[in-house]
Amino acid sequence: MADDRTYIYVLKLTRPEMVSEGPTPEELKTVHEHFFYLKTLRDEGTVLHAGRTTPQGDKTFGIVILKASSEAGAREVMSADPAVKGSVMTAELSRYSVALVSSEWTEAESA
């Protein structure tokens, strides 16, 4: 949609030891649901990019960059994320403005 705006939400683990010690069975289930939720939104064209950092412990965070027609719409997407709903991760939403995109990035994304 031409009226879509770009937003980003930053995810942080509520239990950072999940990365170093491993997830509980419930956390693992929720993280799988989170992945497939984001994959579905990517396939629908809502999620533009999602990923996480690789440091262990409390420095680990993830990001989701998405399109939405309003902040309320972006907040709905974020709040419906299974990792947020299930309290495995916290999330903070911000408006996001792309300044530069490398052609290498776009080629890698389409490959």
- In this prediction the pTM is 0.88
Q: What is the pLDDT of residues 70-90, one digit of tens each?
A: 999 999 999 999 999 999 999
Residue among 76, 78, 70 at smallest CA distance from 95: 70
List the structure tokens of 21.
């010690």
More confident residue, 33 or 106: 33
- Residues with Cβ within 8 Å of 8's Cβ and at least 6 positions away in sequence, in order, are 63, 64, 65, 66, 93, 94, 95, 96
Q: Rounded to 5, what percent of the chain is helix, strand, coil?
A: 45, 25, 30
Strands, sheet with 47-52, edge to edge from the N-terminal-most edge strand: 47-52, 61-68, 5-13, 89-95
Which of 1-15, 25-39, 64-78 has the weakest average pLDDT? Answer: 1-15
Taking phi over 0 as left and psi of -120 to 50 as alpha, with beta for the rest, 102 belongs to beta
